[in-house]
Amino acid sequence: MKTIKILGLFASLSLIFFSCNSNSQTVDKESIKDTITQPYEIRGDCKKAKDVGTIEAYNAFIKKYPKSEFTDTILNLRSKLDTVKPDLKFKQTQLKWENAKLAYAEKESIVKELLKSKEIDYSTLETFIRIIKNEQVLEIWCKDRKNNHVFQLIKTYNLCITKNTDKLRGTDLLVPESFYYIANYYPFSPYMLRLEINFPNESDKKRGRSGGDIAIHGGCFSTYCTPFTDEDIKEIYIFAVEAKAKGISQVPVHNYPYRMTEENFKKYSSDPKYKDDLKRITLWENMKENYQYFEQHKQLQDFTVDSKGNYIYKK
């Protein structure tokens, strides 16, 4: 009786193994060993994802098991359903301007080498920009839609000359702290190149903020924006343009006041300079969850905005 049960269990494990390994026709001793030692839950979830067969199901599996034995299989299946379409005219339009041509002539090979060093596919590039205000740095994170499904840090750029770095906008905050995307690309800016973010966003408006004209640009000087040297903005610009040209219509830009660990949140929230600014501290606490999620998963969360301007994260 025990022998029959063992054989039955082995048969069910083998069935799941074959269902989660495409093009598997035979199995050797090592494969049998891997199948038995691989956690049953992962194999089961892999089969469920394949049975559902949607991008959402595949993404859920990849998010839960970023480095499992079956992740490559699920990635391949997801790539066949990739609905992101390149924006072929966007890059052509940008390259009509001399500053854009110069950036590509001088810096595209450098950008490609940086991505190649991380084995990131240039043809399906996705870019995420993260700014840490108190350190005055901008981080470029990238992944692709083929094999690299989590963001990797590509390069960190130091801000150039800034003014009033502790403020956001108007009387309290100049450079806004929130989650944005690049709304406009200006290859003809007097500041070399200019990437304008969508300030004020939905959260800003519901929190009572107003204004505009917030951007990442060259020229090494700014009162309201995030400035860089002309040499650095050329690279930053290419990372952003290439992602949009590959089909990412809204390249995300997250502006954080500091690295939002629990320790830093307590430190700045109790600082005499900020401790009575309840609106600001409430915003920090709301943003902190997103920062920590990315630090753990190297993925971006989807979110909505409630009536008060708070981010509601989709689990």
The predicted structure's pLDDT at residue 141: 98
- Ranking 49-58, 79-88, 235-244 by mean pLDDT, the lowest is 79-88
Tokens of 186: 């200006």
Average pLDDT over residues 283-312: 96
The mean pLDDT of 13-30, rounded to a whole number, is 46
pLDDT (mean) for 236-258: 96
What rounded mean pLDDT belongs to the chain? Answer: 84
Q: What is the pLDDT of residue 168?
A: 39
Predicted local distance difference test score (pLDDT) of residue 223: 65
Domain positions in the chain are 2-80, 88-313
CB under 8 Å to 28, separation ≥6 — which residues?
none
249-258: per-residue pLDDT in tens?
Answer: 999 999 999 9
On the 0-12 / 13-18 / 19+ scale of CB atoms within 10 A, 114 is middle
Phi, psi (degrees; rounded to nearest 5) at 118? -105, 5
DSSP string for 189-216: -TTS-EEEE--S-HHHHHTT------EE
Calpha distance 157→148 (Å, rounded): 23
The average pLDDT across 283-304 equals 96
**Which carries the bigger pLDDT value, residue 2 or residue 242?**
242
Whether cis (ω within 30° of 0) applies to the bond prior to 200 is yes
pLDDT reported for residue 174: 63
Lowest mean pLDDT among 40-49, 72-81, 134-143, 270-279: 72-81
- How many CB atoms sit inside 10 A of residue 304's CB? 10
CATH class of 88-313: mainly beta
Q: How many CB atoms lie within 10 A of CB 84?
A: 12
Query: Is the pLDDT confidence value at 5 over 90?
Result: no
Residue 111: pLDDT over 60 = yes
What mean pLDDT do residues 139-150 have?
Answer: 91
Chain center to CA of 128: 4
Which of 43-52, 66-75, 158-167, 187-196 ranks highest by mean pLDDT?
187-196
What pTM did the predictor assign? Answer: 0.75
Task: Indicate whether 84 pLDDT > 50.
Answer: yes
The whole-number pLDDT of residue 222 equals 75
At residue 79, the pLDDT reads 72
Question: Tell me, what's the pLDDT at 57?
Answer: 83
CA 97 to chain centre: 28
What was the pLDDT predicted at 73? Answer: 86
Give the start-end residues of each E strand in the chain.
125-132, 137-144, 152-158, 168-169, 173-174, 179-186, 194-197, 215-217, 226-227, 252-256, 303-305, 311-313
